[in-house]
A = this chain, B = another copy of it.
Amino acid sequence: MTLFEEKTIATEKIFEGKVIDLQVDTVKLPNGHESKRELVKHPGAVAVIAVTDEDKLVLVKQFRKPLEKTILEIPAGKIDPGEEPIKTAARELREETGYTAEGLSLVTSFYTSPGFADEIIYLYEATGLIKGDAQPDDDEFVEIEEVDLNVAATYMADQTIHDAKTAYAVMYLQLKQARNQS
């Protein structure tokens, strides 16, 4: 679909960073008017739904500077240049939690902030988890918490879980459970 397409007239590069780039595009709207679009470029990320043999969802506690607080999320990380998303998923799961997975299957992908950023998250489900030691990057500080699905639901309610991808993961597992019971 390219309904209401906005044609790019000019691109001004504002910033090139380690994680994101920023540019401002001048666009021609469907009515002929010109407007500006502020666009964040992101390499894309993966996130992993990992449920242990004891039916616990693996979460990582991490300080998030943009929020100035620590939140509880499913394991996730950004895709390195040229890296296949499934490799990123295996790598981030191992680095952050110590788990390796016998299988990783793609559940879905979604854009997180289509109004201003092109970030896409590929969401994987891990099966056959084998516990090892976490290997966080030198400058990465995470703590693992493994929770029952009903505890995850209370964390959704009290916003200990407070980000879109982790909320997606919990609802995905709740739907799976509801369908298995029906």
Query: Which A residues lie at the B interface, using CB under 8 A?
Result: 1-6, 14-15, 17-20, 22, 24-25, 27, 29-31, 33, 35-40, 42, 45, 61-67, 69-71, 73, 76, 78, 108-119, 121, 138-139, 141-143, 156, 159-160, 162-165, 167-168, 171-172, 174-175, 178-179, 181-182
Contacts and interface: CB of A to CB of B under 8 A. Distances in A.
B165 A164 contact: yes
A71 B139 contact: no
A25 B175 contact: no
Copies of this chain, tallied across the complex = 2
Given A22-B22, A111-B162, A163-B111, A63 B17 contact: no
A15 to B, nearest CB: 5
A111 B67 contact: yes
A42 B18 CA distance: 20
A133 to B, nearest CB: 18
Closest 10 CB pairs of A and B: A178-B178, A4-B141, A1-B70, A164-B164, A4-B63, A37-B65, A64-B114, A17-B38, A171-B171, A66-B118
A67 B118 contact: yes
Contacts of A141: 3-4, 29-31
A165 B167 CA distance: 10
Contacts of A71: 1, 111, 114
A179 B174 CA distance: 10
Residue from A6, A38, A114 whose CB has the most chain B CB atoms within 10 Å = A114
